């Protein structure tokens, strides 16, 4: 099953977490909707880059997720109609295959161990230096295939991780999704880690990410 992340802007004064709260309150309807799309799981977080708030949902779809999302306006499910209406109000748009905000290019991923179910997840966005897409893709892809890096993430109780690269009207972005026992604590542990493989990863990542100021 493929994995992807989507990034959408948030209209000033709106809170993308409203959608997540509503979907969580209707789990059976939500599950039915996403299974129709071939996407059995989806998370949503909210980040605030320098230009304003963005919402990076993550999903594991079968086929083209955006093309399937484009079918939601014709859905007969109440929760889908809510999602379409709320997306227009909060994001100022609906998911569309041609949306420059939505298309993601795979970076790297750490898969969940066999037999382990989904856990809490946390997503974030960081601006990236312009023109470093190829370098970022090569670095991330190589790193996520290294056994020492995988071991370092497991020591932080990170079960799954996904990095995606985005070119948006506001500039290049790196989307990061972390899943584990406590993804926020895992990310803090990553920042503080002195493990050689983790330190090397952070050093190279700093060269790719811009400071955003």
* The last residue of a domain, from among 54, 69, 91: 91
State whether 178 and 134 are in the same domain: yes
Does any domain span residue 31? yes
How much is the pTM? 0.68
Same domain, 26 and 65: yes
- The per-residue DSSP string of 66-131 comes to HHHHTTGGG---HHHHHHHHHHHHHHSS---TT-TTT--EEEEEEPPPTTPPP--EEEEEEEB-TT
Whole-angstrom Cα distance, residue 174 to residue 163? 7
Residue 202 sits at the vertex; the CA angle it makes with 199 and 203, to the nearest 5 degrees, is 85
Distance (Å) of CA 26 to CA 29, 33, 149: 6, 11, 38
93-139 per-position pLDDT tens digit:
766 655 545 556 666 778 878 777 777 777 777 777 766 667 777 87
Among 91, 120, 155, the domain-final residue is 91
Residue 176 β-bridge partners: 124, 163
Domain of residue 130 covers: 105-208
Give mean pLDDT, residues 64-93: 83
Cα gap 95→70, rounded to integer Å: 6
3-state helix, strand, coil in the chain (%, to 5): 40, 20, 40
| 64 and 117 housed in the same domain | no
The model's pLDDT over 152-207, given as tens digits with 9 standing for 90+, comes to: 888 888 888 888 777 777 777 778 888 888 888 888 888 898 888 788 888 887 87
Both 136 and 200 in a single domain? Answer: yes
99, part of any domain? no
Mean pLDDT of 3-10: 72
Shared-domain flag, residues 113 and 203: yes
Residues 17-34: tens digit of each pLDDT: 888 889 889 989 988 888
> Would you say 52 and 12 are in contact if contact means Cβ atoms under 8 Å apart?
yes
Domains in the chain, number: 2
Q: Are 153 and 123 in contact (CB under 8 A)?
A: no
């Amino acid at each position: 099953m493929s994995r992807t992340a989507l990034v959408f802007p948030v209209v000033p004064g709106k809170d993308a977490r409203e959608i997540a709260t509503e979907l969580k309150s209707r789990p059976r309807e939500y599950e039915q909707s996403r299974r129709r799309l071939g996407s059995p799981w989806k998370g949503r977080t909210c980040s605030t880059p320098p230009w304003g708030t963005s919402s990076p949902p993550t999903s594991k779809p079968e086929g083209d997720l955006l093309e399937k999302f484009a079918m939601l306006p014709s859905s007969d499910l109440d929760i889908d109609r809510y999602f379409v209406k709320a997306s227009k109000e909060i994001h100022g748009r609906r998911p569309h295959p041609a949306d420059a905000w939505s298309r993601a290019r795979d970076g790297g991923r750490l898969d969940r161990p066999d037999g382990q179910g989904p856990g809490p997840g946390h997503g974030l966005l960081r601006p990236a230096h312009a023109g470093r897409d190829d370098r970022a893709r090569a670095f991330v892809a190589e790193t996520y295939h290294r056994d020492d890096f995988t071991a370092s993430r497991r020591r932080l109780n990170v079960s799954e991780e996904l990095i995606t690269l985005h070119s948006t009207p506001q500039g290049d972005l790196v989307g990061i999704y972390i899943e584990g026992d406590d993804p926020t604590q895992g990310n803090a542990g990553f920042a503080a880690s002195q493990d050689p493989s983790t330190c090397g990863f952070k050093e190279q990542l700093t060269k790719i990410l811009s400071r955003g100021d």
